[in-house]
Amino acid sequence: MQVYEMIILAIGLAMDAFAVSICKGLSLGKTKLKHSLKAGIWFGGFQALMPLIGYLLASLFVGFIDKFDHWIAFVLLFLIGGNMIREVFGKEEKQDASMSVKTMLLLAIATSIDALAVGVTFAFLKVNIILAVSIIGAVTFAFSMAGIRIGSLFGSKHQAKAQLVGGVILILIGLKILLEGLGVF
């Protein structure tokens, strides 16, 4: 696999994290550099870690991961997106804009499960795994940082609508992953 092919793959893998970062930026409202850095580190780190894990464990889990990755991503994104939508229509409550470890961990796992499957593929293609995970991590880091800022700029004017859209986007990403995993797309 050539470097340019790895960059294109990395951009594709980063799209889920980018969309989730936009949604997170929407819910945060005003953001600081630390918010963008946290998103970049969480999403970029997991997008780099998951292919490495997939690569290292490929011989043991090829069939298992391939059969269930789409279901895991769908459930996590559906729950997170559904909660965002519920908050829009529920009583006005304090919005969770803390970027807590629990929230970011769930989002990072949900957006990087497909990267785990890519890592399994890397093992069979004999890809330079260090180069591949470095590119994937760096691209996702940059896209996630940008996503937080983009979401913040939009969300500060249209908070409730933006959170609703963000929740719907998360659910649709989960549904897309599920349908692709089931072979519909």
**What does the pLDDT read at residue 57?**
86
User: Quick check: 172 pLDDT over 60?
Assistant: yes
User: Quick check: 101 pLDDT over 90?
Assistant: yes
Q: Which two tokens stand for residue 83?
A: 């909660």
pTM for the whole structure = 0.72
User: Quick check: 142 pLDDT over 90?
Assistant: yes
Q: What total number of domains does the chain contain? A: 1
Taking a C-beta distance cutoff of 8 angstroms, is the pair 114, 20 a contact? no
What is the rounded average pLDDT of the residues 41-45?
97
Domain that holds residue 137: 3-181
**What does the pLDDT read at residue 45?**
97
Q: Which two tokens stand for residue 24?
A: 């997170």
What is the rounded average pLDDT of the residues 15-37?
87
Q: First and final CA of the chain: distance in angstroms?
A: 25
